[in-house]
Amino acid sequence: MHENITDRFANISNKIKQACMQSQRSDDEVKLIAVSKLQSIDVINSAYEIGIKDFGENYAQELSKKSLECPKDIIWHFIGPIQSNKVNLIAECAQWVHSIDREKVAKKLNAALDIKGKKVHSLIQVNIDREESKAGIYPEEVVEFARILDANYPNLILEGLMFMPKINASKEARINTMKSINTLHNSLIAVFPKCKHLSLGTSGDFEESIIAGSTIIRIGESLLGARS
Ligand SMILES: *Cc1c(COP(=O)(O)O)cnc(C)c1O
């Protein structure tokens, strides 16, 4: 197991370097998150031992359990849909939340953080391809939503946007989506320069995502192996 992760990590790190070179970016501008949902504690520990410190989880209860059992200096990213009855667990365990997409949830999370005297790095999740099955706000709502978050919920340190574009779209459609993401991100940065992060790219599309300006890639199966 350990060797497999080591090899896959070397391979992915190489591809990240290549994509950064190709887009004339420095590879320290791109943070890799290992998406560990439905993976065992052993798998997380193996990845941790080879130097991975950022992990992404989709389910609040699973995050809570793992954060108790895994090394304390892991940085946990919550990347799944936020249920309002789970904000306490998320506030307790996560340092980053990528999936802010409703004011109701922002308000509850902010209140839960207030009680703990804690802040989290926050990203707005955008449903760029307007898919019914996916979470996220529509692109035209982003700047207004950012204003609402920034003005009212100080425990959510607003840092940028998160996307989960269609993976199996045509090459041309994907290029167009990447362009729209870039335009949207730039229009947000024009109002909020601090929103420099773009959480974009999974196992299937991280190289093109880096070329499109991603600063945080979220890689699951191609790094940690198949989910159980
Ligand atoms: C599962 C998941 C990933 C990782 O997907 P892989 O295809 O395993 O790399 C990334 N982002 C989110 C939001 C996810 O739910």
Tell me, in angstroms, the distance from the centre of ligand 1 to residue 228's CA. Answer: 14
| CB-ligand 1 contact for 58 (6 Å cutoff) | yes
What is the rounded end-to-end Cα distance, in angstroms, of the chain?
Answer: 14
Give the total residue count for the chain. 228
> What pLDDT sits at residue 72?
97
| CB-ligand 1 contact for 198 (6 Å cutoff) | no
The protein residue with its alpha carbon nearest to ligand 1, atom 11, reads 218
From first to last of the 228 residues of the chain, give the pLDDT tens digit: 455 999 999 999 999 999 999 999 999 999 999 999 999 999 999 999 999 999 999 999 999 999 999 999 999 999 999 999 999 999 999 999 999 999 999 999 999 999 999 999 999 999 999 999 999 999 999 999 999 999 999 999 999 999 999 988 998 999 999 999 999 999 999 999 999 999 999 999 999 999 999 999 999 999 999 998
| CB-ligand 1 contact for 203 (6 Å cutoff) | yes
> What pLDDT sits at residue 137?
98
Atom in ligand 1 nearest the alpha carbon of residue 98: 13
Domains of the chain, by residue range, sit at: 5-224
> What pLDDT sits at residue 168?
87
> What pLDDT sits at residue 3?
58
Write the DSSP string, 77-145.
EE-SPPPGGGHHHHHHH-SEEEEE--HHHHHHHHHHHHHHT--EEEEEEE-TT--TTS-SB-GGGHHHH
| CB-ligand 1 contact for 188 (6 Å cutoff) | no
CATH number of the 5-224 domain:
3.20.20.10
> What pLDDT sits at residue 88?
98
The protein residue with its alpha carbon nearest to ligand 1, atom 13, reads 79
Burial of 209 (0-12, 13-18, 19+ CB in 10 A): buried
